[in-house]
Amino acid sequence: MQLANIQWSSVEEEIARTVFERAYQREITALMQQVRERANAIASLEELWMLHDFLSVRRHEIDGKYEFDQASLIFVFAELLKEGWLQFDELAGLAPEKQTKIAALTRM
């Protein structure tokens, strides 16, 4: 599958940014809720450090995932679909070729 040098029209880029931002808001809202729940359930220092480790991992993942970069957008959208932060129909408006590639990547 050819994924390098995929061109994005300005309309597609706008759609991508909107969808990307939406997924980001969903994921961080869920993360903040999860951290609140975990923090409220902490009963030992060990559990507190487990929360710290969890935040270290999530911070690293989120910092890496949500850099808007056309070259990796196809992969990121596939990842966001697999993780449930996006639904496939939210990619409407992207060229069918891009949608096909994203869909294929979600099955890998």
List contacts with a second copy (CB under 8 A): 28, 31-32, 35-36, 38-40, 42-43, 45, 48-49, 51-52, 55-56, 59, 62
Q: Which residue has the tokens 């009963």?
A: 43
Are 74 and 105 in contact, with CB atoms under 8 Å apart? yes
Nearest approach in angstroms of CB 56 to a second copy is 7
Nearest approach in angstroms of CB 76 to a second copy is 17
Report d(CA 107, CA 78) in Å as an integer: 9
Q: Which is nearer to a second copy, 7 or 40 (CB)?
A: 40
Rounded to 5 degrees, φ, ψ at 73 are -60, -40
Nearest approach in angstroms of CB 74 to a second copy is 24
Q: Which is nearer to a second copy, 63 or 69 (CB)?
A: 63
Rounded to 5 degrees, φ, ψ at 94 are -80, 150
